[in-house]
Structure 1
Amino acid sequence: MPNGAKSIAELSVKGSIVRKLPRKLEVLEGENAAFCVEVENDDMEVHWFKDGLKLHETHQTILKSFGKTHILVFVNVVHNDSGVVTFVVGRSKTSSRLKVKATRHCPPIGPAEIKMDIDRPNSALLSWERATNSQTTTRSIFVLEMQEVGSQEWHKCFTSETATSAEVTGDAVPCEGNYRFRICSINKYGRSGHVEFPKVVHLGACTLNLKTCEVTQGEDAHFSIELSASMPGTWFLNSSELNQGGRYSIQQKQTKHSLVIHKTETAEDMAEITFIANGVRDSAVLKVKHINKRVDTGDAIVLYCEVSHPLAKVSWFKDGNGLEVMEGLNIQAEGNMRRIVIQSANASHSGVYTCQMPGDVITFNVDVAEPPVMIVEPKEDVVMKIYIPEEINLQCELSRSNGKVRWLKDGEEVRENDLIQLVSEGPYRKLTILRSCKEDSGEYICETNGDSVFFQVTVTGKSKAKVRNERLELCCEISKVDAPVRWYKDNLEVEEGPNLILEVDETKRLLVIPLATVEDTGEYVCDTEDDSTVFLVTVTGEIRDFSNLRQDKKFFPYI
């Protein structure tokens, strides 16, 4: 409107494509590049294109359809396969940019910083580092080998792509003896040289080592160890010697020793269990978990345990405070079962619940979680085109007014400043850039703890209009000096004449009307092959007023 008021609407067109292609797919040379699209109905006529050329199935291009799902695979891609892949069904289409990265074909460099720790009996802790100048674009693995002293054969004992340490214990060797170790790196292009560890270790006193035991509070914990010879041994809990009886059951059957801790308690969480025999020492960790219960708001909470006698009395507590029957909370006892039921959970019901009786207690950690914050609008990703220096407005509507969001641009979090505003009003979250420039182009993301939406923003063009006395000048600045443009007035291409001049000044293209009249009022468009910009010109009365000349905020698609 002449007074500066405006109204903007957003149009979202849903097509036949249910699941779109990714915006970009990067693969290495020699790998397969796979694209998958899902459409609305079976038996729809679809087409695949690459760089505008229709694709047909070959030994390197696979086209498959499974009902609503359509798949394209490029086999064993090379660098020249990079380009734009497009899927078309009816009037709908989706595109993805394929980028094929080159790889260096060379064998890996051997591991460095080789160390062996043999402080623990009957085990060797081997550690190493990846070579600092090794190639990370090609997948490689570490291969650890062992050899018994006196033998000529090396045996593989450990492989890993990421680990930089390994513990080899007595149960990993075929027989008791002295062992040495070496390591190398392998990829599909070859093997590095072997690097041998400097020490020799004696292994084989234990044929089965202790292992960490993880139980829930109240369950029994079982530990066992097997030696290479029959000998007596002693069990310890955090350096305190354990004896047979009460909560501890200790047995030895020839070379096998076992320990059972009955009815584990939370105080024993992360306790160290140690076994010591003649020349043998081994340890493991006891992990005792609380009973964790996670429920959503509005769901029922049911906590129960079983007692040894149907007449046993228990007391229920929440965060140390006693619980009693009330509206929405029931305390029940049926036979050996003891139970509390909270009919509809809310945030206040989160906490630590305990069921206690003389000599025993069981604990429940309850977490009442709110449902994730979802983005109600927009339902799909948004593509926007903005002209310099227009205002950029990105807006989301959340499923809850108290939901929190993060705004990201090209992966970096957006912060408020003099030109950027982040607004929160009820369920609406808005990012505003007051005066756009080309650097504001990019991919913007609004994300919650459970959802996200993308805004692809392109800021383009520079346009300006000048009025000198009764002279009208419309000016566009383009990116290429030799690019041709066409001027239109009210959708009709203009022609030069005595009162309409088309000028070229390097990257500038001008439309000049030396003596503007009422008949010159209208919509003027400067159009290139790839872009366009528009001016609304109003000439009123005998006094020609160009003060309201402005660039209209309209979206013109690429041609």
Structure 2
Amino acid sequence: LQSIEMATISHLLFKTLRKLIKVNIFCSLMGIPSPIVSWFKGNKKIPHDNKKYLYSSDGDNHFLKIRKASAHDSGIYTCRAINVVGETLCRATLLVLNPKKKALLQARFTRNLSNVEGTETDSVKMICEVSKADADVMWYKGDQELPEGGRYDQIVDGRKRILIIQDLKTDDAGEYHCKFQEVVEGEKAEFVCSVSKDTFIVKWMKDDQELEKGDKYDIVCDGKRRILVIKNSEPKDEGAYVALIGTTRATADLFVLGMSSICLFSFLFQPLQSVCVQYMCLSVVVAIKYIFC
């Protein structure tokens, strides 16, 4: 077999969960020859014989199961895959909340951003501080959310939230800010699809039926963003939701767990042609974000 470069399907994931719940972190990747997969929490490798964290695989799908997740399990988890061609990473940020506390909603900024200057090909660092170490923020340039990776490094260091921009270019000049990751209250699930061309037409499907705007669904077009809102999520809404962009499709599986309204999403993406798709999903206590290119 000819060696081929590994393609990462699930790139970035953010989850917010309540206390003492079994957590499954999922990463789907492909490579020939089959890659060797390892899981890390922070910078420490999780051993295969760990009773708290369990590895499992199903073909190209790799899972890390966390038993009885508690606040101590909060952190950044990384799935690393290596073969003779190279290495690829999937990162997941897991935050476990005490059910009697809403840390994200109570967090506030205690140190604001300061103006910084840099020269071309150099790097700059921006730092803000939050009142709670487990608060999550998103970085923006103007109204555009910044991706993680590439020239952008987003670092969590205690209560500090750090953005580093590498290899500065003239068009990096502008206004930058960070915002708290919103936790949506109420039973609503939202899918946001950002496409590389605003002329792309997106259709939303479930069970081979096209979804239409009405009492149950909101379908919104906002520039390059295409948004599906599922109102009042309930168990019967579980299933696979498909976004169609021409001949390109992405599938999201929605699971609604009991009265706690915890929604879990997993994604599979079938890349066709050269379409760049970005997905963001928000739910009651779970926000999951993937980037596919």
TM over 0.5, shorter chain: no
State the TM-score, normalized to the length of structure 1.
0.20
State the TM-score, normalized to the length of structure 2.
0.36
1 or 2 for the larger relative contact order (CA 8 Å, sep ≥6)? 2
- Rg larger for: 1
